[in-house]
């Protein structure tokens, strides 16, 4: 029994920030490492990003903030974005909130208890017996792995409607006290965004027919968070493009073989654009013609890397453009882990 992707919607916060303005602000923040910043400054132009969206204005990033303020901003803004994406998604599906049987919420840029799904129930009229599953720690892979987990829950409960909600407020994790190279890179690529997807065995949308993942050994230091006194400290290896070129193809081939397919059977590729170098490395690893991943590049250019939400922005645009199926959906996240899903015609 297959799970259908009934509807999909995305949302971004109201502050739109141009890349050039971010570079100027970052120059002031990293003044204590002026020579290093001068050497790294080309990353802002080479990142392939024109603008990004943020839940706070640009001047917020140059100030010191502690955990309580970050937590409050995360909860308030995450709920605003989740409500917007969820309502849009349900309207597109013609589904009232009362008809949703389960909610899965994925996020790695903030934590709260009660969880975001419980808090969202105070804003939207979901049933009081709706099943809830908050998921933390999947990072950039959370969009595709969230799809996989939600599809499995829908498949295990035929006829039920499961709502996947993904929100990442990457900007709120920025700490001006962190003068590391990784934090400089983070200012050049990360943005804020959210997405919602409704899945059910009932429906006529495209089918999620297979999913899988691969976690490489000895790679815990590739990406993730350090927990610091004033927030999350970004962990981001410069070797990610090299790891993609060397190891990604074997993981893809292994997943496709388990799904009874091969790379030549894929109609289009919906891959998470972690950064421009990563997108280029993905094309090289899979021997794809240049411009194959231009939909991912377009999302990166207009929104930056929104962690887990990003691949769902790419998927939304791929579906709107009627790109050929089957679609291979993929993303890389902490672990170091590759997540995959296959989307096929209804």
User: Which residues participate in catalysis according to the annotation?
Assistant: 140
Give the residues across from 162 on adjacent strands: 102, 199
Cβ neighbourhood burial of 133 (10 Å; 0-12, 13-18, 19+): middle
Chain centroid to CA 153: 20
Backbone dihedral region for residue 139 (phi beyond 0: left; psi -120 to 50: alpha; all else: beta): left
The b-or-e profile of 214-236 (16+ CB within 10 A means b, else e) is bebeebeebbbbeeeeebbbbbb
Instruction: Report angle CA 159, 164, 166 to the nearest 5 degrees.
Output: 175
Torsion sign (Cα): 179, 337, 54, 167: negative
Helix (H) or strand (E) holding 108, with range, is: none
């Amino acid at each position: 029994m297959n799970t259908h992707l009934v509807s999909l919607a995305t949302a971004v916060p109201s502050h739109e920030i141009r890349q050039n303005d971010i570079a100027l602000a970052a120059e002031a923040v990293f003044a204590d490492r002026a020579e290093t910043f001068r050497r790294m400054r080309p990353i802002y132009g080479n990142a392939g990003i024109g603008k990004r969206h943020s839940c706070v204005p640009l001047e917020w990033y140059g100030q010191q903030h502690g955990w309580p303020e970050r937590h409050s901003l995360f909860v308030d803004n995450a709920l605003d974005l989740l409500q917007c994406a969820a309502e849009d998604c349900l309207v597109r599906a013609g589904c009232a909130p009362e008809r949703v049987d389960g909610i899965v919420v994925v996020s790695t840029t903030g934590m709260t208890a009660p969880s975001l799904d419980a808090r969202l129930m105070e804003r939207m009229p979901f049933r009081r017996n709706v099943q809830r599953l908050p998921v933390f720690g999947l990072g950039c892979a959370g969009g595709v792995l969230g799809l996989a987990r939600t599809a499995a829950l829908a498949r295990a409960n035929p006829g039920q409607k499961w709502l996947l909600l993904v929100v990442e407020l990457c900007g709120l994790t920025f700490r001006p006290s962190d003068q590391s190279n990784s934090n400089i890179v983070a200012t050049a690529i990360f943005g804020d965004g959210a997405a919602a997807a409704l899945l059910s065995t009932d429906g006529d949308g495209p089918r999620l027919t297979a999913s899988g993942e691969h976690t490489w050994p000895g790679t815990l230091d590739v990406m993730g968070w350090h927990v610091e006194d004033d927030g999350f400290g970004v962990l981001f290896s410069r070797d990610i493009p090299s790891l993609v070129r060397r190891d990604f193809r074997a993981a893809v081939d292994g997943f496709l073989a388990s799904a009874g397919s091969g790379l030549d059977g894929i109609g289009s590729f919906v891959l998470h654009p972690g950064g421009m170098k990563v997108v280029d490395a993905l094309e090289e690893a899979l021997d794809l013609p240049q411009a194959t991943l231009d939909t991912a590049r377009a999302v990166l250019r207009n929104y930056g890397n929104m962690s887990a939400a990003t691949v769902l922005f790419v998927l939304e645009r791929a579906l709107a453009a009627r790109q050929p199926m089957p679609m291979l959906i993929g993303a890389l996240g902490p672990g170091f882990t590759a997540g995959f899903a296959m989307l096929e015609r209804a």
